[in-house]
Amino acid sequence: MKHLKHFSPIVLSTLALASSSAFAAQYLTAEQAQLVIFPEASSFKPATLQLNLEQMQQVEKLAGLPARSVAWRVIAAYKDDKLLGHIVLDEVIGKFELISYAVGLLPDASVRQVEILTYRESHGFEIKNANWRKQFSGKTAASGLKLGEGVANISGATLSCSHVTDGVRRIAAIAQLALKK
């Protein structure tokens, strides 16, 4: 550490920021995630989703978490004219950095698939593993979407597991209230 005393605090801060983002890995773009989640789809269309105050309160009650946002980025997947489901794009904080992910939902608001788009943390990247993400399939806001209660933790990735699980539960609640057909 003696050799660092010759650097200004600004240089040290810059080095620290550069090293913290050096672990970022983009696994999928939003467009690639659409094709992975709904490979049978013939088209994808952006869908506007704006929650009103009552819906935000209902999401909080159902998910046990604040709705967090009024506007959500949603993409509808279609096979010809038939709705296959929706993809909701979101970000949650890991330990320090954002985790970008996509949740595929069936028309009944159950989770079809979860994909990690970008992971920026130095630890916890194991949430990218297919076996961990498969735990979400078939679950709804009311069934098994809590860490330790339907979703297993990964040692060394507790915050990433917890925050992504909470995010998926929030999205499942939103789907239950605003997207379910």
* Percent of the chain clearing pLDDT 70 (strictly above): 87
Q: Are 149 and 44 in contact (CB under 8 A)?
A: no
Is residue 16 within 8 A of residue 106, CB to CB? The reply is no
Q: Which residues pair with 45 in a beta bridge?
A: 76
Nearest to 116 by CA among 39, 125, 68: 125
Q: Label residue 129 by pLDDT band (50, 70, 90).
A: very high
- On the question of pLDDT at 8 being above 60, the answer is no
pLDDT tens-digit map of 59-100 = 999 999 999 999 999 999 999 999 999 999 999 998 889 999
Domain boundaries defined on the chain: 23-179
